[in-house]
């Protein structure tokens, strides 16, 4: 089973995340923001850079808060 360690995790807006639901909502918001930013960019190399940076940050965040029990 996977649990979440949410201690001191902050939302995109700097608010403390207290529940798994808030964490998921924040992830959804971050994905939507990243997607919109990427789609507005016309240069394919910049799109790739945004995607790569976002995925690295997402992986780091998930590794930080996910705990296998």
Rounded to an integer, what distance in angstroms lies between the CA atom of residue 38 and that of residue 35? 5
Is the full-model pTM beyond 0.85? no
Instruction: List, in order, residues 6 or more apart from 69 with CB less than 8 Å away.
Output: 1, 2, 3
Q: Which of 17, 15, 14 is nearest to 5 (CA)?
A: 17
Q: What's the average model confidence in pLDDT over 40-62?
A: 95
pLDDT digits (tens, 9 = 90+) for 13-31: 999 999 989 999 999 999 9
Q: Where are the domains of the chain?
A: 2-68
């Amino acid at each position: 089973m996977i649990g979440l360690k949410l201690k001191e995790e902050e939302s995109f807006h700097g608010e403390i995340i207290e529940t798994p639901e808030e964490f998921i909502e924040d992830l959804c918001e971050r994905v939507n923001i990243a997607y919109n930013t990427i789609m507005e960019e016309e240069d394919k190399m910049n799109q790739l850079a945004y995607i790569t940076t976002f995925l690295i940050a997402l992986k780091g965040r998930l590794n930080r808060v996910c705990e296998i029990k």
